[in-house]
Every structure is written in C-alpha cells, then in structure tokens.
Amino acid sequence: MSEVVTYQREGAVGVITVNYPPVNALGHAVRSGLLAALEQGQQDAEAKALLLVCEGRTFIAGADIREFGKPMQEPGLPSVVETFERSDKPIIAAIHGTALGGGLEMALGCHYRVALDSAKVGLPEVKLGLLPGAGGTQRLPRLAGAQVSLDMITSGNFVSADEALQNGIVDAVESGSDVKAVGLAFARKVIDEGKPVRRVRDLNDKVDAEKGSDIFDQYRAGLQKKARGLFSPFKCVDAVEAAFQLPFADGMKRERELFMECMESPQRAGLVHAFFAEREVSKVPGLAKDTPVRDVNSVGIIGAGTMGGGIAMNFANVGIPVRLLEVKQEALDKGLAIIRRNYENTARKGRITQAQVEERMALIQPTLSYDDFADVDLVIEAVFENMGVKKDIFGTLDKVCKPGAILASNTSTLDIDEIASATRRPQDVVGMHFFSPANVMKLLENVCGSQTADDVKATVMAVAKRIKKVGVLVGNCYGFVGNRMLHQRGAEATKLVNEGASPQQVDKVLTDLGFPMGQFAMSDLAGIDVGYRIREERRKAGEDVPASWMDKLAEEGRLGQKTQAGVYLYEEGSRKPVVDPKVDALIAEFRKEQGIEPREISDQEILERCMYVMINEGAKILEEGIAARALDVDIVWIYGYGFPAYRGGPMFWADQVGVKEIYDTVKRFHDTLGGDQWKPAALLERLASEGKTFGSL
Ligand code: T1G
C-alpha cells in the first residue's frame, strides 16, 4: 500500500483516498498508488462500488508539473484513467477544491461525479502550453458537447460546480464541506438504485449530433487574434475535433500525438517556467520564511493622480481602508471621480456589483491633511518623479506617522536611499513600484533601500499577495530591474531609428516576438513627455544625453495617445496606432541635422540590438545582486511589460537562444557600436565560456 493513496472499505463502498500535499498532483507515486488501490477495490468482494476522494485542500489538481521534461515513468496517466473506466464496479469521484487537468480527467474516467458547491473544475493545460493529455479532449465533449469543451479547453478557465452540473460534467452538487460524506452518500445511492457502470467513452450522442460541425473552423478563426503567436490552443481545437470525427480509441491516439507535439514545444517549456517562477519569486533568498510581518490594516496614499488613484483601488478592492491625500481639493475631486468611473466601468461589465462600487468608494477617504496619516500602517507616496518633492514629503511623513509605519515610494527610477535620508527611520522606508495602470498590471517591484528592515521587506511582499499582485523584491539602482532594462531597449530602439529603421519596423519586430505593443507604441501610451522630462532633468544635471528625434515630438506637443498624436496618430477614442508620414519626415529632418546617412536595417539586427542589450543589462543586474535570480527578472518582464509568458521571460528566452550566441553578438556590437551598454557583462561572459545558462544560477 502506498502512503499517498490508501484503500479502505466503508460498508459496501471501497474508498480510494489520495493524500499527496500540497494539491494531490498526479506524480508517479500517486499514479501507481491509484492502480494498487483500485486493484484492492476490485478484489474486495464486499465492495459494491468504489469512491475516489482526496484529503487536503483540493481534489487532484493535475499532473505533477515538476515531472514535465523528464522521462515519463509508467504507469502513464491515460492508462490509469482507462483502467478506472474499465472497472466493472461503479466508481464515483467526489470533488472538492479545484479538480484540474489530469485531476478532472481522472474524474471523467470514473462513472459518476459529485461535487461540493464550492468546488471548481477545469482543464488549464493550455496555460502551460499543453492540452488535456489523459482523455479530456475525448471525454469532455461526450458529456458537454463541442462549444463548452472548446471554451474550457482553449481558455483553461475554471468553471463552478453549478456550471459543471448544468453542462453535464458532474452528476450532482451538494452543499457542505465534508466531501467524503457527500461521496459516500452518493455511492450508496448508486448501489441502492442499482445504477450501472456508465463509461463516458461509450456516450456518443453528443459527438454524433455535432459530427461535421463547422464550429471548429469558426473557433480557429476566432483564435487567430486571441491566441496570436501561441501554439497549443490550435492543437486543443484539433484534439477536440477528433472526438467528433473518430471512434474513441482513435481519438485517444490523435490526442496523444497532439499532446506530445505540445509537450515538445519551446512554448510549453516557457509557460511551465513562468508558472513556477511566479511562485518562486515570493520565496526571497536570504529572507527567512518566518520573518514577522507588520499589520497593514490601513493605508495612506499621497497623490490622487493616475498612479495614486490606481494604487488606492488595489487596497479598497480587498477591503483595506485608504486615506487619499492631495494638496488641492480639485485634484482630490478629480482623482476620486476617475476612481469612481473605473469602478462603474467594471460594474457595467458585470464583474462587480453596484453595491461593491459603493463599498469600495466608501473605503477611500479623501483628505488634504497629513494629520490623517498619523495612525496609518503603510503610506505610499505617488507624486511625480522629482527627488526634491519626494524628500519634502518623506520629511513630513517622518514627523507625522506613528513609529513602525512603513513609508513607501512608488518611484519608478529614483534612489530609495536618498529618499530614506529625508527621514530618521530609513529602516522603515521601501520602494513599492506599481505599473500603470496600477489597478490592472499585476507586477509590484518592491525596492529595498540599503537599510530597509527585513520585516519591512517581508511585509511589502505579503501586501503584494494580499492585493493580488505578483511582488518581486529588487535592489536599489536607477530603474531597479524593469525600467533599467527598458531604458536600454528604448535607447537602442531610438538609435535604430536614427540610423535608418522606422518606428513601425522596430515595433513590429517586438510585437512579432510576442510583446503586446512595441517600444514606440508604449512610449505613446506612457506619454512622450515622460521620457522627455527625464532626459531634460539628466541634461540639467550635466549628463551627456544625446539629442533625440523623440525630443522633437515632445517639443511639437506630440505627446502620444493623450494628444492623439505622438510617434503615431490616434483617431478620436481609439488606441490603435496609425503611421504618420509627418513623423517619417521629422525623423528624416533630424537625420539630416545630425549628418546621419540612413541605411537599410534588417529585422534580425533590430531584434538582436533591442533584445540582447536587455539581456546584457539583465546579466549586470544579476551580478550586482539587484535581482536575486534570473527568474525574478523573467517575472518582472512578464507581469510588468507583457513579455510573452510562452517564452518564459527574457533570461529564460536568452537560454533558449543560447548564451554563447548572445555573448558573441554583444561583444561584436561593443566592437562596432561602442557604448557601456554593449560592454559584455562579466556574468554573461562567464556563462558563455562555461557553457552554462542563466537558469543554472
Ligand atoms: N504540479 C506540481 N505542483 C503544483 C501543481 C501541479 N499541477 N499545482 C500547484 N502546485 C504547487 C505549486 O507550485 C505550489 O508549490 C503549491 O502547489 C500551491 O500552489 C495530463 C498534463 C491548484 C489552483 O495546471 O492552478 O494535468 O510554491 O501557490 O494559489 O492532462 O496551483 O507551495 O512549493 O498555486 O492555492 C494541470 C496548476 C497540469 C493546475 C492552487 N493542472 N495549479 O492555487 O496555490 S497539466 C494545472 C494551479 C495536466 C494532464 C495534463 C494552482 C491551484 P509551493 P499555488 P493556489
């Protein structure tokens, strides 16, 4: 008897129990244990029906993702499911928590399914670059039909127990929390009513009824936009379609072929890396897991602009009261009006109720006085990027706030230590860098000053989780992790345009790689004046910042989307960038002034210069300890800048491209283009010479 799967009979019901924390994933031990327990149940003459149930927080949540990429050990999951289905004793699956992927497929291999009303079911394999590979694409359609199966399998979204009942995925939904009692009651009913063994593989009405349907081609057309650049969603459609074209056994073969294609794709590797990396970032090397966290039951936010308002919403959304401070009443009123409009829009889409709008608005208390910050647990300053202003504010906070209050800045580039120097409590000062729009983007860069206390670090990481952000702890330098790398990409992209590329050519290379928008479309979104002001500040501080055609845009008032003209044109109410010949003329004029003879630039050169300069900067960030691990850099870029998760993030992608290839190219650019940004990072050089990867760090 395995210790992760046990068998014991209760009356006439043989109970097979899985107990493999944290989520009863179908690792090799569980798969073997299930077959052993089933065998016992078959041999047990007293057992008239069998019950599959799980201990812990959830029913089986899928295959064990940690096994992917390693040689598969028998028994494979499809055969385990098939063995359950062939049982001549009725088997009931009792579902609680989230029955996902292989877990739901196990349940579909059983003959009946009962779920607690709090349970959810799903086939999220597509989010890992896969498709259900243990019969889900063949059995689900036999219960729920084509549309529901396609929706669930290509989106990977979970459905509630009630929805699963309506769709025929489960046979009953029961209230309460004792899933074993619910399962036993259902099993006894099956015995008492003499219900037959009902194998899903034999239910062909739904697949026969929709044979030859054009829903599959329609679905593929719809995925062209939604799943741009992705591989497995299209394979999901092919697999489900096979259920409507082939006998079950052949459909299973087809599913297996398609599953293996997905398993071998680099996108599966990228998405699985992203899955684990998103969880690893909250485990900070050097920060003890049991570091105490301070209570955060009230928050003060300074600045009711776009960022401050968005940040306030994050806390109100999870029931934490917020004091929102501005210097003028009209700024407060404007900020609150924008927050209300955002909530009303969400309510209009049905995602929250009107009552929730009012609840959340009531949690955001406006104020013009710092006195209202006297007892808040956390303050987040979100005013514009001027060090003098920030230091004044932190000087005031130091006087007003209670001991132990955490004083955070939402600065996107400025020095946390310098900000902290305006207070007598640098240990309580930290950066909490939100990404615009702050109530939408999931990334939160938590920036440590040199004196930030460990419990402050642990607290802001816990706050990230609480407000449903992905928090990454980073060190203090210009631009921290994300913006420091973005700054290099932006500078290189601008130079490429100086030398002969067009903004739209550069942007297309980046969107073809999988970014949701290119460098210049992003500048138009953020505002051309943002970069312009930073360059002007740096020029005033005596830095040698070269002239840029982007400056000309700002000087002509072309600030981007907010003025309907920037690098691109924007129709009224539209965010779609439209190429503007006037900008091409402005760039040509700029080149002439600078004495630059434009040249044809290949997409490959654009890709290498925009991406490898980022990788080189990422390597410097790692060797300086600004980011603890390569996976932290990956998560910053996936959740802060839309780096395609199916490529795993910039450092994972660099490993797939080849560290040596990148090092050689960076070195070549250093020789031909010059500039510190092309000086190969020592870490990059070492990994290349040792034949190692960023993932090996
Ligand atoms: N395999 C291995 N570990 C897993 C896991 C899995 N499937 N799911 C979660 N974990 C770990 C996770 O790494 C973390 O570990 C801990 O459990 C808690 O997770 C053939 C091939 C179930 C909704 O895609 O969606 O079946 O950090 O922090 O927020 O067709 O985990 O504590 O060490 O996320 O409460 C399909 C993926 C697999 C489900 C719980 N299944 N998991 O969320 O906790 S492919 C999935 C989730 C498959 C078959 C195919 C979530 C969750 P640690 P957590 P949570």
pLDDT tens-place string over residues 220-269: 999 998 898 899 999 999 999 999 999 999 999 999 999 999 999 999 99
Angle, CA of 46, 50 and 53, to the nearest 5° = 135
Residues 670-691 have a mean pLDDT of: 97
Question: Could you tell me the two tokens for 511?
Answer: 């969107």
179: containing domain: 5-264
Q: Does 520 share its domain with 471? A: no
Q: Is the pLDDT of residue 314 over 60?
A: yes
CA of 25 to the centre of ligand 1 (A): 7
CA of 273 to the centre of ligand 1 (A): 13
Residue 84 belongs to a domain: yes
Residue 508 belongs to a domain: yes
| DSSP code of residue 509 | H
CB 473 within 8 A of CB 284: yes
CB 173 within 8 A of CB 165: yes
Residues 115-138 have a mean pLDDT of: 98
Residue 114 belongs to a domain: yes
Q: Is the pLDDT of residue 280 over 80?
A: yes
For the chain, what percent of residues have pLDDT higher than 70?
100
Q: Does 144 share its domain with 257? A: yes
Element (H, E) at 505: helix 503-513
pLDDT confidence of residue 543:
87
Catalytic residue numbers, as ranges: 105, 125
**Nearest-atom index, ligand 1, CA of 66:** 2
What's the start-to-end Cα distance of the chain, in Å?
39
Residue 283 belongs to a domain: no
Q: Does 238 share its domain with 346? A: no
Q: How many CA atoms lie within 13 A of 376 on its CB side?
A: 26
**How do residues 522-574 score in pLDDT, each as one tens digit?**
999 888 988 898 888 888 888 888 888 999 999 999 999 989 999 999 999 88
- Can you say whether the dihedral through the CA atoms of 179, 180, 184, 185 is positive or negative? negative
CA of 23 to the centre of ligand 1 (A): 7
CB 471 within 8 A of CB 604: no
- CB within 8 Å of 65: residues ≥ 6 apart: 25, 128, 272, 275, 276
CB 552 within 8 A of CB 586: yes
Q: Is the pLDDT of residue 74 over 80?
A: yes
Q: CATH number of the domain that 391 lies in?
A: 3.40.50.720
CA of 629 to the centre of ligand 1 (A): 22
Domain ends where: 264, 289, 309? 264
Residue 654 belongs to a domain: no
Confidence band (pLDDT; 50, 70, 90) for 636? very high
Residues 382-386 have a mean pLDDT of: 89
Task: List b or e across 572-589, with b for residues whose CB sees 16 or more CB atoms inside 10 angstroms.
Answer: eeeeebeebeebeebbee
Residues 74-100 have a mean pLDDT of: 97
CB 113 within 8 A of CB 107: yes
What residues form DSSP beta bridges with 554?
none
Q: Does 469 share its domain with 507? A: no
* Ligand 1 lining (C-beta closer than 6 Å): 22-23, 25, 61-66, 77, 98, 100-102, 105, 124-125, 128, 130, 132-134, 136, 279
Q: Does 324 share its domain with 239? A: no
Question: Could you tell me the two tokens for 168?
Answer: 């025929």
pLDDT confidence of residue 385:
83
Give which of 427, 438, 475 is closest to 335, Cα–Cα: 438
pLDDT confidence of residue 69:
81
How far is it, in rounded angstroms, from Cα 166 to Cα 143? 11
Q: Does 85 share its domain with 128? A: yes
Q: Does 436 share its domain with 532? A: no
Q: What is the pTM assigned to this prediction?
A: 0.93
CA of 216 to the centre of ligand 1 (A): 29
Question: Could you tell me the two tokens for 484?
Answer: 């420091």
Q: Does 364 share its domain with 420? A: yes
Domain ends where: 264, 291, 316? 264
Residues 262-285 have a mean pLDDT of: 95
Residues 615-623 have a mean pLDDT of: 98
Residue 676 belongs to a domain: no
Beta strands, E only, 455-553 = 470-474
Residue 67 belongs to a domain: yes
Task: List b or e across 78-103, with b for residues whose CB sees 16 or more CB atoms inside 10 angstroms.
Answer: bebbbbbbebebbbbbbbbbbbbbbb
Q: CATH number of the domain that 581 lies in?
A: 1.10.1040.50
pLDDT confidence of residue 538:
84
Q: CATH number of the domain that 58 lies in?
A: 3.90.226.10
Q: Does 316 share its domain with 200? A: no
Give which of 618, 629, 623 is closest to 285, Cα–Cα: 629
Split into its structural domains, the chain has a count of 3
Choice from 65, 96, 281 to test ligand 1 binding pocket (greatest atom count within 8 A of CB): 65
**How do residues 9-32 score in pLDDT, each as one tens digit?**
999 999 999 999 999 999 999 999
| Residue nearest atom 52 in ligand 1 by C-alpha distance | 61
Residues 51-57 have a mean pLDDT of: 97
Q: Hey, is 385 helix, strand or coil?
A: coil
What residues form DSSP beta bridges with 94?
114
Give the helix, strand, coil percentages of the chain, each rounded to 5: 55, 10, 35
Q: Does 208 share its domain with 307? A: no
Q: Does 459 share its domain with 374? A: yes
Choice from 23, 282, 289 to test ligand 1 binding pocket (greatest atom count within 8 A of CB): 23
Q: Is the pLDDT of residue 1 over 60?
A: no
Question: Could you tell me the two tokens for 260?
Answer: 């293996």
CB 607 within 8 A of CB 513: yes
**Nearest-atom index, ligand 1, CA of 124:** 24
Residue 330 belongs to a domain: yes
Q: Does 40 share its domain with 127? A: yes
How far is it, in rounded angstroms, from Cα 81 to Cα 170? 17
